[in-house]
Amino acid sequence: MAESEVPNSKKLEGPSQSFLPYVGPLLFLVGIFFVNFLSRVILSPLMPTVEGDLKIGHDEAGSFFFLITLGYCVGLFFSGFVSSRLEHRRAIIFSSFAVGGALFLVSATHHFWGIRSGLFLLGLAAGFYLPSGISTLTSLVSQRHWGKAIAIHELAPNLGFIVAPLLTEVLLRRCSWQGILIVIGVASLMAGAVFALWGKGGNFSGEAPNLRTLKSLLKEPSLLLMMVFFSLGVGASFGVYSMLPLYLVSERGMDRTWANTLLALSRISPLATSFLAGWMTDRLGVKQTLKIVFLTTGLATAMIGIAPVSWILPVIFLQPILATAFFPAGFAALARIGSPHIKNVAISLTVPLGFLIGGGAGTAGLGVAGEAGLFFLGFILLGGIVAVGSLLVRYLKLVSE
């Protein structure tokens, strides 16, 4: 590792090896990640209003989410080209400014294809952040505290799930849906500016995904396993989140408002889960934590399809708590595969594939099961597949563990 790659971690480490000095610098990254994630999920609670305003159908509305996800995956994959030229710090700032610009573009046009183009650019700009954010985080923090640091970082998406519908209801009373996008766009610009002025870390270049780097990484069996693990983790988290309301309404007979309320409330507890999972990762090790998470998450996911009506409520609250615990351990494992200077490439390969398989194919599979009248079986099968991940963890080879 080059000396320039870890200047801030050396400055922050004190004789006590305390985690407390790292919290301040981490909060800058958490703030940027929160706005980044909020910009990608805010369209979900806004969609009924957007549909009525643009006079579009559910299929066209669905294409909006697909374009954001597609842009995000492309941005993740090509983020190495940005960070290799700008360094990770500037890549983070660029991503924040670009997200703000894309939100302004979407809010300024009523043309259908203009909105589609803006949403793709929004996903693309948001995708540039994560590899540089994780690389910056792990350069700032001593390896013994990576689990806790990543757990704090993972507060951002969990908060985003909760804040998005609440923010929508509050702001729609005062402005249009375009105005809400402008508010988040301004927040993204401010987050980037604050990090540029006071944020720390990231003063080293990433590695662009060239053929030699890709060959080197794809020869790592552990990286291929992490692609599988992230697919399982995203499927158990985002896939279940996406389809649970429909399942509760269509097969469990719940009122739609009550189902959506339960979904929102069930995402509050995972805020604390991230800290617990980070502590477990540091105390038990990455592999042991992953084994526990996959086994318990798989069982809880299957229970969604098995549990009687009297038990479905606690299962709904338990499943996301366990599923969210994957991400601190998952990112800590990714950070220990391959050499440090290609860490961002490993992330930019693994996370998009996880979203495409877990968030795309996994969600679609649940939908196919539901269309066939076998929604319960879809959750049982998904839970079984996730539980199998606990058996595969033994083959994972990590640096320093």
Share of the chain above pLDDT 90, in %: 23
Residue-wise pLDDT for 69-104, tens only, equals 788 888 887 887 787 788 888 899 999 999 999 999
Among residues 205, 234, 249, the one where a domain terminates is: 205
Give the residue among 262, 48, 276 at the shortest CA–CA distance from 147: 276
Residues 139 and 20 in one domain: yes
Closest residue by Cα to residue 120 from 61, 75, 179? 75
Are 186 and 132 members of one domain? Answer: yes
Residue after which a domain boundary falls, among 170, 205, 240:
205
The residue-averaged pLDDT of 139-151 equals 75
Picking from 189, 205, 221, the residue at the C-terminal end of a domain is 205
- At 10 the pLDDT is 45
Q: Tell me how far apart the alpha carbons of residues 114 and 56 are, in angstroms, rounded to a whole number.
A: 14
pLDDT band at 319 (very low <50, low <70, confident <90, very high): very high
Number of domains in the chain: 2
Distance CA 24, CA 29 (A): 10
Q: Based on the domain organization, do 133 and 235 belong to the same domain?
A: no
How high is the mean pLDDT of the chain? 80
Measured over the CA atoms of residue 293, residue 295, residue 298 and residue 300, the dihedral's sign is negative
Residue carrying structure tokens 């269509």: 250
Structural domain range at position 57: 1-205
Please indicate, yes or no, whether residues 246 and 199 belong to a single structural domain of this protein: no
Statement to judge: residues 174 and 289 lie in one domain: no
Residues 159 and 254 in one domain: no
Listed ranges 220-224, 247-251, 378-382; the one with the highest mean pLDDT = 378-382
Q: Is residue 210 over pLDDT 60? A: yes
- The answer to whether residues 193 and 226 belong to one domain is no
Both 185 and 228 in one domain: the answer is no
259 and 331 in one domain? yes
Residue 20, class by beta-carbon neighbours within 10 Å (0-12 exposed, 13-18 middle, 19+ buried)? exposed
Q: What pLDDT score does 311 carry?
A: 87
